Each structure stands twice: as C-alpha cells, then as structure tokens.
Structure 1
C-alpha cells in the first residue's frame, strides 16, 4: 500500500512571502535541503508543466548513503499545480538504480493564513518504500524549520 507522509508548521510570515519561497530557485536551494545537506539546481522552471533537477549532497555520505551516488540524492521534479499564494504540487522521481526508490512521489505544499502568519502543510503521497518514515519525518521537519528561518528574517 502506498504511504503518505505529512508535516506542518506555523510560520511568522505572511502567506505571500511563504509561497514565493516555494517557487523561487534561490530560496528553495537555501531552505529545502534538510540539515546535513546542501542543494543546487541543474535546471529550474517554476510553471505548471515546468520542471527542475536538484542535486542534494550529504555533508557526511558515510552516515546516510545517497540514492544516486555515495553522497548525493538527485531528484527530477515536475510542477503539476501552482495555485498562487496557496499551493504547490510536484511529481518527484529519485534518480537511483535501487528499485526501493522507484516510482513517482507527489509532494504538495499548502499555505494558509494562521494567526499573525502562515500555516504550511506538507504532504508526500506514494513515498517510495526505500525512504524510512523516521528519516523522512526528520527531513521534513528540518526543511520546514529552514523555511521558517528563511522567511521570518
């Protein structure tokens, strides 16, 4: 059965600023990689039907081996829905020879007003079985914390 992972966080920033960070190449490269990783885009086109290729590099590849190489994860993503100010949906494939990481995962970021800021809810559908639920939860929490730090300053 396909797995769905979820994470959410309240962020002290307006929804338009949060949404902008979800679709901006420079912003994503700074906040999306979880702690212990850096990211860079090989291409980026944020529009419905557009795509990106991101290389995530582990600071210590021996602690968590990469899916593409010993110290990298490579993702191919396509923007399937952009609702300005509210939602970003992407279909994501990991570049890997390991069948445990095969298949398309759908990532949905939703932003709504909450108090004096925003509520960001993340949902990953059809998570490949090679991604442990515990590691994914930690990575999502880290990325959301990075997003908050990025937009709250």
Structure 2
C-alpha cells in the first residue's frame, strides 16, 4: 500500500501570502530545503504544467551522500494544480539511480484561513520507500517551520 506522510502548522499569515511563498522562487528556495540543506533552482516555471528543478545541497555531505550521490538531492517537480490562496499540487521525482528513491510522489500543499492566519498542511502521497517516514517527518516539519519564519520576517 502506498505511503502517505503529512505535516501541519498554523502560520500567522494570510492564505494569499502563504500561497505566494509556494510559487515565488526566491521564497521557495529560502524555506523549502530542510534544516541542514540549501537549495538552488536550475529552472522554475510556476504555472499549471510548468515545472522546476531544485538541487538541495547538504551542509555536511560527508554525513549524507544524498539521493543523487554527491552530497545532494535533485528533485524534478511539476505543477499539477495551482489554486491561488488555497493549494499547490506537485508531482515530484528524485533524480537517483537507487530504485528505492524512484517513483513519482504527489505533494499537496494546502492552506486554509484561520482566526490567527492560516493552517498549512503538506500531504505527500506515494512516498518512495527509500525516504524513511521518520526522516520525512523531520524534513516536512522543518520546511513548515522555515516557511513560518520566512513569512514572519
């Protein structure tokens, strides 16, 4: 049975500001990479059917060889759905020779207005088996914490 991982965080920002951070490359590059990584885009086209390629570099490549094998993770993400102020759906593939990291993961970033701002939820479906549930939970929570920090600056 395919695995589904989720994470949720309340963020004191409007749904429109959160959504903008989902589709602006400078924002996404700043908050999406989990703690201990930095990201760079080789291309970015935020529109339905558009895509991006992000290279995530580990701060300590000796401690983590990465899915790409050179101290980095490379991800190809395609925008499957964009609903302004509400949701971004991505189809994500890791660039890896290891079959444990292959396959398309569907990631849905949803935002719902709350009295204090927004409730942001990540839902990752069909997570490749090489991505452990524990490490994915830490990574998703880290990205949400960094999103909150980005929006509070």
Q: Would the TM-score normalized by the shorter structure come out above 0.5? A: yes
**Structural mapping, 1:68-87, within 5 Å:** 68-87=68-87
- TM-score (normalised: structure 1): 0.98
Partner of 2:141: 141
Q: Which stretches in structure 1 are left out of the alignment for 5+ residues?
A: none
> What do you get for the CA RMSD once the two structures are aligned?
0.7
Q: Which residue of 2 aligns with 1:16?
A: 16
Structure 2 counterpart of 1:128: 128
TM-score (norm 2): 0.98
| CA offsets 1:41-84 (integer angstroms, 9 cap, x no match) | 00000000000000000001222220012300000110000000
Deviation at 1:114, TM superposition (A): 1.2
Runs of 4+ that moved beyond 4 A = none
Q: What is the aligned partner in structure 2 of residue 90 from structure 1?
A: 90
Pairs aligned (count): 153
Counterparts of 1:134 and 1:121, CA distance in 2: 17
Deviations 1:68-104 (A, max 9, x none): 1230000011000000000000000000000000100
- Displacement of 1:116: 2.0
1:42 aligns with 2:42: yes
- State the SS of the aligned residue for 2:149: helix
Shift of 1:115: 1.5
Distance 1:11 1:116 in 2: 7
Give the structure 2 partner of residue 61 of structure 1: 61
